[in-house]
Amino acid sequence: GAGVSQSPSNKVTEKGKDVELRCDPISGHTALYWYRQSLGQGLEFLIYFQGNSAPDKSGLPSDRFSAERTGGSVSTLTIQRTQQEDSAVYLCASSLGGPVTHYGYTFGSGTRLTVV
Amino acid sequence: KQEVTQIPAALSVPEGENLVLNCSFTDSAIYNLQWFRQDPGKGLTSLLLIQSSQREQTSGRLNASLDKSSGRSTLYIAASQPGDSATYLCAVRGNDYKLSFGAGTTVTVRA
């Protein structure tokens, strides 16, 4: 597609439920990233995928968070047993090139997650 | 760990004034620096990308400079308009391929 597509755009869930957030990167972009933006906070790195390499999961805040990328394209971020502190905007970005690249990032519009 | 600071945190100017947004970073070993714009409730829109070997980039009314050795970048927006009101984020890309973001400068341009 022309841009990075994320769905849903908004999600309200009850505490303790599981949620899945989807990201469809720009066609041909081999690198995909998830970031989190909490209210009044900066952007926090969560996870990075590059081609078929093992993902860098060093930013995931707890084992309730997991992500996968199928076929080197679409990615799903799953949060199990959601907590109120998980409420944030989850942003996905994609980029051309490998781990070290001079290309910039293109971000999606984000998924606003609210845990009640 | 890379630390990115943006000053000021907020800025309010009358329409027509030039805007100057500052970004500083602690580790000069960067591959590039990217300026983004974020409107309320929206994602990030890329404005300018400056490679580590470059000194500046220009796009329309926007100009961004980079002084890697001193760890500074400045975004200039000429002849501001109310539509320029948004939060502007500076992000640096290190050799670990992650972007480190500043907290942003929230700009209000008064008509």
pLDDT in tens, chain B (111 residues): 899 999 999 999 999 999 999 999 999 999 899 999 999 888 899 999 999 999 999 999 999 999 999 999 999 999 999 999 999 999 998 877 788 999 999 999 999
Nearest to A106 among B42, B46, B102 (CB): B46
pLDDT at site A67: 96
Predicted local distance difference test score (pLDDT) of residue B10? 95
Residue pLDDT, tens place only, A62-91: 999 999 998 878 999 999 999 999 999 999
Residue A101 pLDDT greater than 80, yes or no: no
pLDDT above 60 (res A1): no
pLDDT at B97: 76
Flag whether pLDDT at A39 surpasses 90.
no
A100, A51 contact by CB (below 8 A) = no
Query: In B, residues 16-35, which contact A (CB 8 Å cutoff)?
Result: 31-32, 34
Residue type, A66: S
DSSP secondary structure letter of residue A55: P
Query: Which residues in chain A are closer than 8 Å to B101, comparing Cβ atoms?
Result: 42-43
Cα within 13 Å of Cα(A25), Cβ side: 27
A104: nearest CB among B46, B95, B103: B46
Chain B residue nearest residue A108, CA to CA: B43
pLDDT reported for residue A10: 96
Provide the strand spans (E) within chain B: 4-7, 10-14, 19-25, 30-38, 44-51, 56-59, 62-67, 72-77, 86-94, 99-101, 105-110
